[in-house]
Structure 1
Amino acid sequence: MTTIVFLHAHPDDEASSTAGSMARAARRGDRVVVVYATNGDHGEVPEDLHEGETLVDRRRSEARASAEVLGTARVEWLGYKDSGMTGWDMNAEPGAFCNADLDEAAGRLARILDEEDADVLVGYDWHGNYGHPDHVRVHPVAYRAAQLARRRPRVLESTANRDRMAAGFQAAREAGLEMDFDPHGPADDGNPMGTPEAEIHWAVDVTDVVGLKRQALLCHASQATDIGMLTGMPDEAFLAGFGHEHYREHGRPNGMQPGWPFTPLD
């Protein structure tokens, strides 16, 4: 059994990026742990909050529901505040994850890695796929935590295949759908979305569990705008867009290959 720890910035990030890999790992009998850096404090506030219920309460319960769908064995929280998008006032708030002391944040994660004796740690690429300050911060925190852990885990970077996304949007436009998003255009921090395929190392086929990925997204119903857009995609388009998940691995020669990278280092 392999123990794989996934570090995500906010509840729902696991569903849109690594849920397929998580579900496949759980089906294989591996132990899957998800750690959220923040509570998603500045997400979309639903209209149906119960009396006394906060957005954080709702998002934590949604994360637990997603874990049940995917077969995740443990859900943990680093306890930082959501930093909001680039340029928002929240970027400067005390306790915002984007300002977290690197060793302190990495130490919190390393304690979980040690408790789990983790074999693999999954973080994000250098700009967190689309430049959100919390996503960007995940990258160095993951690598530092791996250094601090008693047994250094294999580190993978979840990323988005920019070329595949661009081809998908172009195909949708040619089919008559209104698509004005360009993955090659500037995202939240001004950089393009994701990573060019030539700089990606692993493509993980999750087509057999893509239905679970959609279910995990639906668990995060409070974030109605984004989740509704994704889950509202026709089945064929959803499969094309979410049937593969992509990862980078520092030090590996360029060249994307299909496979299963969630195994311990030799």
Structure 2
Amino acid sequence: MLKIGSHISSSKGYAAMGRQARKLGANTFAFFTRNPRGGSVKALDEADVAEFLDKAAENGVEGPIVAHAPYTMNACAADPGLREFAQNMMRDDLARLEHTPGNYYNFHPGSHVQQGVQTGVALITAQLNSVLLPEQRTMVLLETMAGKGSEVGRTFEELRSILDGVALDEKMGVCLDTCHVWDGGYDIVNDLDGVLTQFDKTVGLSRLRAVHINDSMNPLGAHKDRHAKIGEGHIGFEAFRRIINHPALRELPFILETPNDDAGWAREIAMLREAYEG
């Protein structure tokens, strides 16, 4: 069965997210761990978490679910204060996620802000080495990036460089964003097999744990990162049919981040389920 869902608001807690996933026809979902444009976070309600875990099967949530760090977290910022903010945020998020073990924590590697990619990679790996713990049960996912501005993670090689510097690398994986890799210059429309072969040689397909499934408003290699609804952008529906059915991808959780409302996400979930073979 296709594992698919969308981003769901976490403002009302875990149990509400589970119920919302059922309404959308989803069996997994993503959520921001805190204010995505800030950093504020509510106190964790352990009773709410327990209700979510107890009702997950009833709500059709099979997981793994994919937590998303806020956009304000920049592990390779030039400002030491911002780097400390990012480190503390990630450490706190990972501690909170231990209440729902076995899931994923996805984050944008960061922007080096004219410090250079090498410095950016070094700062990102330093943060990961400071917060990852041998006993943690949450896997941290680096997200593939579109390459706008000074983003780190625009190429598979840059992701590999980060992974190479992480001591507890068994706690690390990758989330492939279809819009980002397309905007980054990887032709998943005409050469999906070639792109995945390149990923395997550079990073390793065993590292790939989730997919953000988004169409793109931009042509190949635009480096702009503008998501479009499924089938309404430059990637197109037939490419997504191949993506969700590809042997290397079909068992992964697919998360929609398309510019939609609940009705739109429910429609895309149903549309992709129908296109799934098996």
Report the TM range for the smaller structure's normalisation.
Answer: 0.3 to 0.5
Structure with the larger RCO, 1 or 2 (CA within 8 Å, 6+ apart):
1
Q: TM-score scaled to structure 2, two decimals?
A: 0.33
Q: TM-score scaled to structure 1, two decimals?
A: 0.34
